[in-house]
Amino acid sequence: MKMIMRWFPFGDDSVTLSQIRQTPGVSGVATCLPKVPVGEVWPLETLKALRDEIQEAGLEMEVIESVNIHEDIKKGLPTRDKYIEAYQKTLEHLRDVGVKCLCYNFMPVMDWARSDLSYVTEDGSSVMAYRHDEVLEMNPEKMAKAMEGKARGYSLPGWEPERLSAMAQDIEFYQSMTREKYWDNMKYFLDAVIPYAEKYDIKMAIHPDDPPWPLYGLPKVITNAENIRTFLSLNESPYNGLTLCTGSLGSDLSNDIPALMREFGGMKRIHFAHLRNVKHISEKDFDEAAHLSSCGDLDMYEIVNALYESGFEGYIRPDHGRMIWGEQARPGYGLYDRAIGANYLLGLWEAVEKSHKNKR
């Protein structure tokens, strides 16, 4: 198991590589090229420069997040093949710089959604919050303005800014698409890309839908155990796997996260784990929380124990953190709370590991 942290390059992150390097137990970063338009090949020379910068800081660049999939692929349009070819070429370039794992998602139109990125909690820290009714009231035009910084003055990491103006039209397109057709489009992508992942020895790790329930009538498919089984059956290659995000899947109270860890970890299909906690306000309202079990509704010890018992050998990162101690940073991606979370998770892993050794 390797503990890593997400880092946004080229001055887009207030957290420095030096600070990450000083966080005990963290061996590397999961990073991206956010300025490359979706559907274009990630340039090899840019990736090499990024790798060199990270390695010079004493860290590894074995994980990449957010090689975003062009919407034409998700829609199943005739133009998808040229974008898939670009994705295949990007995988080759990632191989050339030593990448071992790629976290991506197949969420239509938008990535994760929240109603508030700076909700102030009782202890004075701020977290990202989700209130279902408020999100439903945010029509695509209002959401696009919010994402451009005109409505609330913030931006959500992982969303595709260049697509915001077309958000309403894209949502309308999916209203007539069946779930079966969406699964077909996903399989088409996997069957085209997984052979290259095998060739280049890069584990493909899909991220769950966040939140894991329907929104704006869009198809949401990576949401629970049954759907994950369906996804993995689309392509049986061990390179077709998961980023198991406890915060995303844990937003649905019906998901048993330790059971998911055991089932899919036992199949060796969990390549990356995003670990964080959530505090439910109601069935479909929640706040992100500090990583400790006592701070949310997820039993983090049982989650780590299940992951360990499954024989997990991939990458873990503390997921979205709170804003604490006056820190001003990209929502969810400050240094302080994520560093605390990383060391809490490392402590849990050590405790679980030693408890199993003592039983032998």
Q: Residue 214: name the closest of 60, 292, 109, 323 by CA.
A: 109
How far apart are the C-alpha atoms of 296 and 146, rounded to whole Å?
28
Active site residues per annotation = 207, 245, 274, 319-320, 333
Return phi, psi of residue 285, to 5°. Answer: -125, 135
How far apart are the C-alpha atoms of 102 and 29, rounded to whole Å?
12
Q: Residue 298: name the closest of 350, 344, 231, 238 by CA.
A: 344
Q: CA dihedral in degrees (169, 172, 177, 182; nearest 10)?
A: 50
Instruction: Give the long-range contacts of residues 351-358, CB within 8 A, separation 24 or more.
Output: 351/301, 352/301, 352/304, 352/305, 352/308, 353/308, 356/308, 356/309
Instruction: Report the Cα 304 to chain-centroid distance in Å.
Output: 18
How far apart are the C-alpha atoms of 62 and 64, rounded to whole Å?
7
β pairing state of 285-289 and 203-206: unpaired
How far apart are the C-alpha atoms of 67 and 33, rounded to whole Å?
8
How far apart are the C-alpha atoms of 73 and 203, rounded to whole Å?
20
Three-state DSSP at 5 gives strand
Q: Which two tokens stand for residue 219?
A: 């198809």
How far apart are the C-alpha atoms of 304 and 294, rounded to whole Å?
15
For residue 208, cis peptide bond before it (omega within 30 degrees of 0): no
